[in-house]
Amino acid sequence: MASKKEIIDIIRIINSEHIGPITFYKLLAKYDTLEGIIKNKSPFLLNYEEAENLYENCLKQDIKIITYNDDVYPQNLKPIDDAPPLIYAKGNINLLNTPCVAIVGARNASINGRKTAARIAYDLAVAGRCIISGMARGIDTSAHKGAMYALEQRGPTIAVLGTGIDVVYPKENEGLYQQIIEQGCVISEFPPSTLPQASNFPRRNRIIAAIAEATIVIEASLKSGSLITAQKAISYGRQIFAVPGTPMDGRASGANKLIKDGALLIENAKDVISHLGKSEDRIILNKPQKQLEISFDEQKITPKSQTQKIKIIDYLNFDGVYVDEIIRASGMDAAGVALELLELEMNGRIQRLPGNKVALIKQK
Write out pLDDT tens, residues 329-339: 888 887 788 88
Stretch 15-19: mean pLDDT: 94
d(CA 25, CA 208): 21
d(CA 272, CA 243): 11
Write out pLDDT tens, residues 211-239: 999 999 999 999 889 999 999 999 999 99
For the chain, what are the domain ranges? 4-86, 94-286, 292-360
Check residue 347 and give its pLDDT. Answer: 79
Contacts of residue 201, Cβ cutoff 8 Å, sequence gap at least 6: 134, 162, 225
> Does 291 score more than 50 pLDDT?
no
**Class of CATH domain 94-286:** alpha beta
Stretch 139-159: mean pLDDT: 94
d(CA 291, CA 302): 8
Check residue 278 and give its pLDDT. Answer: 54
This prediction has a pTM of 0.85
Query: The domain 292-360: what is its CATH number?
Result: 1.10.10.10
